[in-house]
Amino acid sequence: MIRFVAAALTPAGLPAVNRFDPVEGNWGGLPPFQGALDGTKKLLLFSGADYHVFEPGDAVRPFEYAGLPHDIVRLTSSTAYKLNREPLVGGVAALLAPATQESDELPGFSTTLSDATTIKVWPRIAEAGVPVGSHLDFQSANGVYYWELFFHAPMLIARALNGAQRFEEARTWYEYVFDPTRPSRHWRFLPFLAVDVRALAEGCRRDLAELAAAGVRIGTLEKALLPVLAEIEAMAPAFQQIRELTGAEETRLGELADGGLAAVEKAVGALKSAPPAVLAGLRERLALIGRLRWRHGLLGDRGSLLRAYLDDPFDPHAIAELRPAAYRRAVVMAYVDNLLDWGDLLFRQYTGESVDEARMLRTWTATGAAWRSPGRCRSWRWTRRPCWPCASRAGAGSR
């Protein structure tokens, strides 16, 4: 271990660093002892004239560190160069775009492959969960900065612009997080899309439709993917915390995380002449589906939400972090409030043009025309008909 660094012309020593103990073969919860007796029902540890007895029903028992669940947390990021490049090339819109959030994180993790950008892990480690590599890792050590960059900063700027009555600019910043004018993907912030299983399934279906429109044969892919989409759509209430996952649903999510999408991925890999952009989007959504079990584990249950509230009732973010739907509702309501404030300002100007514009904003907000495509208008055939009251009066006058 290196313990010296260069300082001026003489080396400087570093303080002694404790060596790390390996996880394998080490135990915790053990008192100091010189001898042990492992009986059929009791474990006795002897220390001088004293001894400790551990029974199967004891709440605190010795444990092996290797048997505990371990989380692998990404401490660094390989995407800094891209985050620096995007605002220089395309401005703020390119930096905050979903495509930037879908940048691959390196190194990746695999149970079969090991190379310069992939770390090979044991299957039991992969089954417990490894850091995501198909997009920015919002649960890594840099995750809080990603949240600030792609969510909190745009919302803060949008609210400041709203307070300054610059409503059109505020709407632009709100739409970096939530853009209802994009029916195909209204959530622009990736973590919000990851827990919206209905939007996730709908996005996969749109990808299939685009592949079919491009002339790609997707029969095998549809056969493998559509049943999976139907299964996760049925779990949507659980991800909205309306109900709990059933045992069968938890088992199914575990299967999807542990090779359950192999047939789908194989069918995707066999596609020929597929548009690269559509293919990349589909693979991204499949990666999100594979991590749904882990995503659901991050959602707080009723007890954890109540504890977060009781610990600090004036910290809404503590609760919202356990309930992402709260953040999403806040974003939608802030977007609507901005339109209403904009309309109020135009009404107060009280000119013909401003009143018409305000009426359109109110109509846009009230009818929800912004949230969906208006579709095709129904055509009418007009026919000339006589106005009977006028005709009768004309006849009476002529007489």
In a domain, 287, yes or no: yes
Enter the DSSP assignment of 25.
T
Query: Shortest CA distance to 334 belongs to which of 212, 94, 75, 157?
Result: 157
Q: Which of 278, 296, 314 is the last residue of a domain?
A: 296
In a domain, 57, yes or no: yes
Q: How distant, in Å, are the alpha carbons of 108, 187, 188, 299, 310 from that of 318?
A: 30, 22, 22, 12, 11
**pLDDT at residue number 163:** 96
Counting the structural domains of the chain, the total is 2
Where is the domain boundary, 67, 100, 125?
67
- Is residue 250 in some structural domain? yes
Tens digit of pLDDT at every position of the chain (399 positions):
445 555 556 666 656 666 667 777 787 878 888 788 887 778 888 888 888 788 877 777 777 777 777 778 888 888 888 899 999 999 999 999 988 998 888 888 887 888 888 888 887 777 767 787 778 888 788 888 999 999 999 999 999 999 999 999 999 999 999 998 876 678 899 888 767 888 889 889 999 999 999 888 999 999 999 999 999 999 988 888 778 888 899 889 888 887 789 899 899 988 888 888 888 888 888 888 888 887 777 666 667 777 878 888 888 887 787 777 889 889 999 999 999 999 999 999 999 899 999 998 888 777 654 455 445 555 555 566 665 555 555 454 444
pTM: 0.68
Strand-pair partners of 11: 6
Tell me if 171 is assigned to some domain: no
d(CA 239, CA 227): 19
The phi and psi torsions of 50 (rounded to 5 degrees) equal -105, 165
Tell me if 74 is assigned to some domain: no
- DSSP H helical segments within 246-301, as ranges? 247-255, 262-269, 276-290, 292-298
Residue closest to 235 by CA, chosen among 263, 212, 254: 254
DSSP string across 298-345: HS--HHHHHHHHHH-TT-HHHHHTT-HHHHHHHHHHHHHHHHHHHHHH
| Domain hosting residue 292, numbered range | 196-296
78: how many CB neighbours lie within 10 A of its CB? 15
CB atoms within 10 A of CB 200: 22
Q: Which of 67, 93, 124 is the last residue of a domain?
A: 67
The reply to whether 133 falls in a domain is: no
Q: Which residues contact residue 33 at a Cβ distance below 8 angstroms, ignoring those fewer than 6 apart?
A: 45, 46, 47, 52
Q: Which residue has the tokens 């299964």?
A: 231
